[in-house]
């Protein structure tokens, strides 16, 4: 009898998923990473912590989020699509699941402050929100370019009591915000937790963030069972660093569902990258011939990252999940389609998953297939950008 492998279990003690992951940080940060690893293992085993995490996400975060059958889109594409509505969670995306977990853990470790990086501002806003709720100080590092592009989100974070620091080094975007947050963390690690926004960074972050996000997949699996849908044929999610995808995949990794991550064509670490070490992890990265990290470029700031979480690199290598690409042009059309047919304006990030389905319904996704689509966030933050694109202004 052959045993099926168990997918998406914990990493090894050093935080490796196969040959990916690990801890590549300056010695000054190693004790903090080791401490965090212990603290998370301890908390995640503690029923009181888990219950406080779940209760906070229920009372404050709006969980469980519903599953919505997308009837008109399903008819349009000839497949059966169920959407997991992370767009309805507090702050407008799945990001709240992770930040509530990390903010509670920060308090449990006796630290009084969180720092975070942000690209478009979604994770920054979510972190500022959780920090306000739990009475923690909060500083968010944001590339100077992004502070201009997303000025309203800067203001949101400030309303929530956070300090936003524009990052002027390097390309002045998300990857530089991560560098700067890591540099800052070295100086204040005694009383400050670095609340990383995706399934990336040094161990235990990729694993811990996946665990905090796995509530998406656990809920969705139960909701689909209760509706009599059972296991879908496909589970589809957009991937930048990959936290919403990791969260939803976790609920189906050991089922028969095919797992599909949709990367932005201009930030496709699995499709175009190669193994490398950045931001504390070994993963797949966009890099040049000399191992210098390249800029990602996408219409969606949330997918504008030259790497991917190490567990995704591992799932790709194993062939358990497949990673595909959607370009900027089809993403806008998908956003319009979902808005018009279903009354849901998705985030540009989430629209990548919709765009892939539109492209392959009837081919790679056979007619009549059942699909769970993770709608990771809502599009309110993107409407000004989409308007200017549709008007031909940018």
Partner 1 sequence: MTSLDRRLRELRGSRRALVPYFVGGLTKDWSQYVHGAILAGADAVEVGVPFSDPMMDGPVIQEGALRALRAGATLESICHEVASSAFDAPIVIMTYYNVLHHFGLARAAELLATSGISGVIVPDLALEESDAWRDVATPLDVATVLMVAPSTPLARVRRIGAASQGFVYAAARMAVTGRASDVGDAERVVSAIRSTTDLATYVGIGITTPEQARDAAQFSDGVIVGSAIVQQILNGADTTAIEAQIASFRRALD
Distance between CA atoms of 105 and 42, rounded to whole angstroms?
10
Q: Which residue has the tokens 């689509």?
A: 373
What pairs with residue 234 in β-bridges?
Answer: 258, 371
φ/ψ of 72, rounded to 5, equals: -75, -40
Minimum Å gap between C-beta 20 and partner 1 is 12
Active site residue 369: no
Q: How many CB atoms lie within 10 A of CB 110?
A: 8
Beta strand 258-264 pairing with 137-143: unpaired
Minimum Å gap between C-beta 385 and partner 1 is 27
Query: Of these, 173, 223, 287, 350, which contacts partner 1 (CB under 8 A)?
Result: 287
The helix/strand count (H/E) of the chain reads as: 16, 14
- Which has the closest alpha carbon to 22: 31, 32, 33, 35? 33
Contact call for residues 247 and 57 (beta carbons, < 8 A): no
Distances (CA, A) of 327 to 49, 90, 194, 298, 354: 41, 28, 32, 8, 12
Total interface residues for partner 1 by CB under 8 A = 37
Minimum Å gap between C-beta 169 and partner 1 is 6
Helix (H, G, I), strand (E, B) or coil at 285: strand
55-114 positions binding partner 1, by CB under 8 A: none
x-marked contacts with partner 1 along 296-335 as a string, rule CB under 8 A? ----------------------------------------
Interaction of residue 273 with partner 1, rule CB under 8 A: no
Query: Of these, 170, 229, 322, 341, which contacts partner 1 (CB under 8 A)?
Result: 170
Active site residue 93: no
Interaction of residue 278 with partner 1, rule CB under 8 A: yes
Query: Of these, 189, 229, 330, 341, which contacts partner 1 (CB under 8 A)?
Result: 189
Minimum Å gap between C-beta 211 and partner 1 is 22
Cα 62–chain centre separation:
18
Measured at the CA of 11, the angle between CA 349 and CA 257, to 5 degrees, comes to: 50
Interaction of residue 27 with partner 1, rule CB under 8 A: yes
Interaction of residue 279 with partner 1, rule CB under 8 A: yes
Beta strand 80-85 pairing with 274-278: unpaired
Distance between CA atoms of 100 and 295, rounded to whole angstroms?
30
Interaction of residue 24 with partner 1, rule CB under 8 A: yes
Interaction of residue 31 with partner 1, rule CB under 8 A: yes
Interaction of residue 23 with partner 1, rule CB under 8 A: yes
Distance between CA atoms of 203 and 34, rounded to whole angstroms?
8
Distance between CA atoms of 14 and 305, rounded to whole angstroms?
24
Query: Of these, 143, 280, 302, 377, which contacts partner 1 (CB under 8 A)?
Result: 280
Interaction of residue 283 with partner 1, rule CB under 8 A: no
Query: Of these, 10, 26, 78, 230, which contacts partner 1 (CB under 8 A)?
Result: 26
φ/ψ of 374, rounded to 5, equals: -85, 110
Q: Interface with partner 1 by CB under 8 A: which range of 25-33, 123-131, 234-242, 374-382?
A: 25-33
Q: Interface with partner 1 by CB under 8 A: which range of 62-70, 172-180, 229-237, 378-386?
A: 172-180
What pairs with residue 113 in β-bridges?
Answer: 137, 192
Q: How many CB atoms lie within 10 A of CB 315?
A: 27
Query: Of these, 46, 112, 135, 183, which contacts partner 1 (CB under 8 A)?
Result: 183
Of the listed 117, 180, 211, 263, which one is catalytic?
Answer: 117
Of the listed 86, 300, 376, 381, which one is catalytic?
Answer: 376
Of the listed 74, 93, 95, 298, which one is catalytic?
Answer: 95
Q: Which is nearer to partner 1, 287 or 385 (CB)?
A: 287
Active site residue 311: no
Minimum Å gap between C-beta 112 and partner 1 is 17
Tokens of 147: 């502070």
Distance between CA atoms of 133 and 139, rounded to whole angstroms?
15
Q: Which is nearer to partner 1, 137 or 294 (CB)?
A: 294
Binding site for partner 1 (CB under 8 A): 14, 22-32, 169-170, 175-176, 179, 182-183, 186-189, 274-280, 282, 285, 287, 290-293
Task: Give the active site residues.
Answer: 95, 117, 376
């Amino acid at each position: 009898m052959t045993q099926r492998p168990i997918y998406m279990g914990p990493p090894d003690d050093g935080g490796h998923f196969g040959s990916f992951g690990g801890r590549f940080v300056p010695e000054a940060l190693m004790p903090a990473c080791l401490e965090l690893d212990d603290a998370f293992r301890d908390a995640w085993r503690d029923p009181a912590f888990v219950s406080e995490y779940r209760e906070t996400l229920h009372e404050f975060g709006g969980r469980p989020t519903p599953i919505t059958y997308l009837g008109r889109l399903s008819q349009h594409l000839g497949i059966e699509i169920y959407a997991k509505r992370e767009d309805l969670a507090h702050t407008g995306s799945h990001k709240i699941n992770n930040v509530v977990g990390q903010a509670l853990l920060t308090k449990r470790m006796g630290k009084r402050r969180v720092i975070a990086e942000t690209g478009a501002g979604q994770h920054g806003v979510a972190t500022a929100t959780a920090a306000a709720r739990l009475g923690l100080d909060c500083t968010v590092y944001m590339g100077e370019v992004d502070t201009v592009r997303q000025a309203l989100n800067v203001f949101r974070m400030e309303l929530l009591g956070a300090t936003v620091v524009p990052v002027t080094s390097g390309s002045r975007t998300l990857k530089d915000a991560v560098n700067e947050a890591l540099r800052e963390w070295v100086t204040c690690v005694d009383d400050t937790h670095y609340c990383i926004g995706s399934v990336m960074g040094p161990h235990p972050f990729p694993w811990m963030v996946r665990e905090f996000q796995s509530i998406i997949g656990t809920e969705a699996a139960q909701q689909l069972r209760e509706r009599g849908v059972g296991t879908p044929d496909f589970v589809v999610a957009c991937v930048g660093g990959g936290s919403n995808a990791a969260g939803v995949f976790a609920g189906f990794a050991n089922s028969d569902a095919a797992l599909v991550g949709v990367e932005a064509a201009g930030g496709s670490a699995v499709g175009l990258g190669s193994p490398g070490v950045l931001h504390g992890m070994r993963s797949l990265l966009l890099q040049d011939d000399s191992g210098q990290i390249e800029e990602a470029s996408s219409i969606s700031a949330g997918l504008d990252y030259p790497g991917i979480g190490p567990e995704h690199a591992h799932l790709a290598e194993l062939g358990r999940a497949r990673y595909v690409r959607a370009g900027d042009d089809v993403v806008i059309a998908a956003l319009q389609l979902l808005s018009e047919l279903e009354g849901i304006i998705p985030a540009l990030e989430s629209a990548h998953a919709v765009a892939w389905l539109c492209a392959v319904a009837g081919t790679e996704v056979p007619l009549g297939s059942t699909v769970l689509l993770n709608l990771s966030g809502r599009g309110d933050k993107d409407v000004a950008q989409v308007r200017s694109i549709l008007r031909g202004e940018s």
